[in-house]
């Protein structure tokens, strides 16, 4: 029986970041991960490989078609999909290897295998070399999530797959059907559309990007349609079949669709399989998430949980924040995550980013607000780079002017949103943001102008 101060089950962004922070704070830390590569969904089959493919496919589509306005004519562009996928794998390998190095540097003990809690303070690791018994004062569950599916859809890991398969198709599908118009569905749809697939996106709701600002989602829909993505909104998929060569998607009250591949992107569900929660009396909620209190503590003494497995925004940076807060709470007695300033980003072109509350949420909560908007078409840098679609929207409390939300669709929205998130973290008003000097010519000037627009004082509109 090997003893550590802290055992972390899961080596994704929640788990590995918690491990590093705990080691920095002087704990003897063990991290159990069943995959050979550390980094979890995010590094192996999520954030990083999808962004590598988004970048490669965007370069391909720009070079192939959109550079004539810059006075650049390029002939003979063709796709080498194998090389593109290898590049993505290289990026993933470099980053997962980087976490191995960080573990070594921080003297974190890594166990390869499946971790199962057997009693308070006790975990068994089942690996290829048998079972290892570990004990610790504290345990953190960071086992993440796995793709969800719908009734009537059996994933076959090939033609009918999830984002994991869509990150590695060996050929460009002639016709790809994506079920679900959330961030993951839209990102993968964008990749394969740019590489030449015909793409149909089916969504149960009558809008895309549920949870994001509805006006911005409507603007995004128009832009995506111009990019050649086909949408069927308000449609209920009742089943998907494959004969091994193609697929048929059945839709309630509409014609079936025949296609080459189906990507099911209807969300993710918590991963608590064979985790031994019952051995310590932890009951999951009705959606399968592990309930925690404000200190990320579960109902079992000394056992905590962070990341996708506890629900909320299923995002890597949210998992990381929780990993740090949880460990700091254990060691120092305090740790905190400000859930209101966690940005969410969709890495399509244009990018879509949001932090804080939407107009719908503010209206529902009865909070009076003022709104400032500024379009990228009026921003010098956006003009110079030729990406003028979209705008910045800042929402501020009507009485105090405190920023309550920011929503951006446009070039580099994912980077620009950080300014609003930092401002909100410091409790800034729209006036504060408007009075900050922004370098010219930058896309960030659109954030300043939108902040000025809250008070009707935008200078370039
Ligand atoms: P995970 O990353 O899922 O890690 C959990 C780890 O625990 C896994 O490695 C798993 O193997 C391991 N594990 C599970 N059970 C056990 C066990 N019993 N014993 C040992 N090990 C176990 N988020 C963003 O913020 N930005 C993005 O751009 C983004 N893009 C995404 C794109 C795609 C295609 C997908 C699928 C997800 C994306 N996400 C993105 C979401 C992000 O990947 C997750 O929110 C994040 O990985 C959650 O981190 P986690 O540590 O909670 O769990």
Over residues 123-145, the pLDDT tens digits come to 999 999 899 999 999 999 999 99
Nearest CA to ligand 1 atom 12: 10
**What pLDDT is recorded for position 1?**
87
What's the pLDDT band for 158 if we cut at 50, 70, 90? very high
**What pLDDT is recorded for position 185?**
98
66 pLDDT higher than 80: no
What's the pLDDT band for 73 if we cut at 50, 70, 90? confident
450 pLDDT higher than 80: yes
**357, 358, 359 from 367: Cα distances, Å:** 10, 11, 9
**Contact by Cβ (8 Å): 375, 390:** yes
152 pLDDT higher than 90: no
Say what the pTM is.
0.97
Strand partners of residue 127? 130
What confidence tens digit (pLDDT) does each residue in 179-207 have? 999 999 999 999 999 999 999 999 999 99
Most ligand 1 atoms within 8 A of CB, residue of 30, 35, 46 to mutate:
46
Tokens of 119: 């009693």
- Rounded mean pLDDT of the chain? 97
Of the listed 70, 258, 336, 440, which one is catalytic?
Answer: 440
**Contact by Cβ (8 Å): 262, 185:** no
Nearest CA to ligand 1 atom 9: 40
Q: How many alpha carbons lie under 13 Å from residue 219 in its C-beta half-sphere?
A: 21
Q: 439 Cβ partners below 8 Å, 6+ apart?
A: 445
> Does the beta carbon of 182 lie inside 6 Å of ligand 1?
no
**What pLDDT is recorded for position 115?**
98
Distance of CA 41 from the midpoint of ligand 1 (Å): 3
Nearest CA to ligand 1 atom 52: 307
What's the pLDDT band for 363 if we cut at 50, 70, 90? very high
> Does the beta carbon of 270 lie inside 6 Å of ligand 1?
no
**H runs (alpha helix) in 298-412:** 316-332, 359-364, 380-385
**What pLDDT is recorded for position 129?**
86
**What pLDDT is recorded for position 397?**
98
Tell me whether residue 440 is one of the annotated catalytic residues. yes
Residue 73 backbone dihedrals phi, psi, to 5 degrees: -110, 120
**What pLDDT is recorded for position 373?**
98
Atom of ligand 1 nearest to the CA of 268: 36
pLDDT more than 90, % of the chain: 96
**What pLDDT is recorded for position 69?**
80
67 pLDDT higher than 90: no
DSSP summary character for residue 376: G
**What pLDDT is recorded for position 445?**
98
What's the pLDDT band for 406 if we cut at 50, 70, 90? very high
Distance of CA 4 from the midpoint of ligand 1 (Å): 24
Atom of ligand 1 nearest to the CA of 314: 45
Give the pLDDT mean for 452-457: 98
What's the pLDDT band for 50 if we cut at 50, 70, 90? very high
**What pLDDT is recorded for position 384?**
95
**Contact by Cβ (8 Å): 437, 451:** no
Distance of CA 222 from the midpoint of ligand 1 (Å): 31
> Does the beta carbon of 370 lie inside 6 Å of ligand 1?
no
Distance of CA 252 from the midpoint of ligand 1 (Å): 32
Distance of CA 13 from the midpoint of ligand 1 (Å): 7
Give the pLDDT mean for 391-398: 98
> Does the beta carbon of 317 lie inside 6 Å of ligand 1?
yes
Closest CA to 305 of 284, 277, 334, 326: 326
> Does the beta carbon of 367 lie inside 6 Å of ligand 1?
no
The C-alpha torsion from 338 through 352 and 162 to 271, rounded to 10°, is 0
Atom of ligand 1 nearest to the CA of 308: 52
Question: At which residue do the structure tokens 């925004």 appear?
Answer: 313
The percent of the chain in helix, strand and coil, each rounded to the nearest 5, is: 35, 25, 40
Angle at 12 between CA 8 and CA 18, to 5 degrees: 45
Helix (H) or strand (E) holding 249: strand 247-251
294 pLDDT higher than 90: yes
116 pLDDT higher than 90: yes
> Does the beta carbon of 12 lie inside 6 Å of ligand 1?
yes
84 pLDDT higher than 90: yes
Distance of CA 33 from the midpoint of ligand 1 (Å): 12
């Amino acid at each position: 029986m090997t003893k550590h101060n802290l055992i972390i089950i899961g080596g994704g962004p929640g788990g590995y970041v918690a491990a590093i922070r705990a080691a920095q704070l002087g704990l003897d830390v063990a991290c159990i991960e069943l995959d050979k590569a550390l980094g979890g969904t995010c590094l192996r089959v999520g954030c990083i490989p999808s962004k590598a493919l988004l970048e490669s496919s965007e370069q391909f589509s720009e070079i192939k078609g959109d550079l004539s306005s810059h006075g650049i004519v390029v002939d003979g562009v063709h796709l080498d999909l194998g090389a593109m996928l290898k590049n993505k794998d290289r990026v993933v390998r470099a980053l997962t290897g980087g976490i191995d190095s960080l573990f070594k540097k921080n003297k974190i003990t890594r166990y390869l295998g499946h971790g199962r809690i057997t009693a308070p303070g006790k975990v068994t690791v089942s690996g290829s070399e048998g079972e290892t018994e570990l004990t610790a004062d504290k345990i953190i569950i960071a086992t993440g999530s796995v793709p969800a599916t719908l009734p009537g859809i059996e994933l076959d890991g090939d033609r009918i797959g999830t984002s994991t398969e869509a990150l590695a198709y060996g050929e460009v599908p002639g016709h790809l059907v994506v079920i679900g118009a959330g961030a993951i569905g839209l990102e993968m749809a964008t990749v394969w559309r740019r590489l030449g697939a015909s793409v149909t996106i089916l969504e149960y709701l009558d809008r895309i990007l549920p949870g994001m600002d509805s006006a911005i989602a409507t603007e995004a829909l128009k832009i995506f349609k111009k990019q050649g993505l086909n949408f069927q909104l308000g449609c209920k998929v009742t089943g998907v079949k494959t004969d091994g060569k193609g697929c048929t998607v059945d839709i309630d009250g509409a014609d079936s669709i025949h296609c080459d591949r189906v990507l099911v992107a209807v969300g993710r569900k918590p991963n608590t399989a064979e985790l031994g929660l019952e051995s310590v009396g932890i009951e999951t909620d009705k959606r399968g998430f592990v309930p925690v209190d404000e200190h990320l503590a579960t109902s079992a003494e000394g056992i905590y949980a962070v990341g996708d497995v506890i629900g909320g925004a299923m995002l890597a940076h949210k998992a990381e924040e929780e990993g740090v807060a949880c460990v700091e709470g254990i060691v120092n007695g305090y740790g905190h995550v400000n859930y209101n300033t966690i940005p969410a980003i969709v890495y399509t072109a244009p990018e879509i980013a949001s932090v804080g509350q939407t107009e719908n949420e503010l209206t529902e909560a009865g909070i009076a607000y003022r709104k400032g908007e500024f379009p990228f078409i009026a921003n010098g840098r956006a003009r110079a780079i030729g990406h003028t679609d979209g705008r910045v929207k800042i929402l501020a409390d009507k009485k105090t002017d405190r920023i309550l939300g920011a929503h951006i669709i446009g070039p580099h929205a994912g980077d620009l949103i950080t300014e609003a998130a930092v401002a909100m973290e410091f409790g800034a008003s729209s006036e504060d943001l408007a009075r900050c000097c922004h370098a010219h010519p930058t896309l960030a000037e659109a954030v300043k102008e939108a902040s000025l627009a809250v008070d009707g004082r935008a200078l370039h509109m």
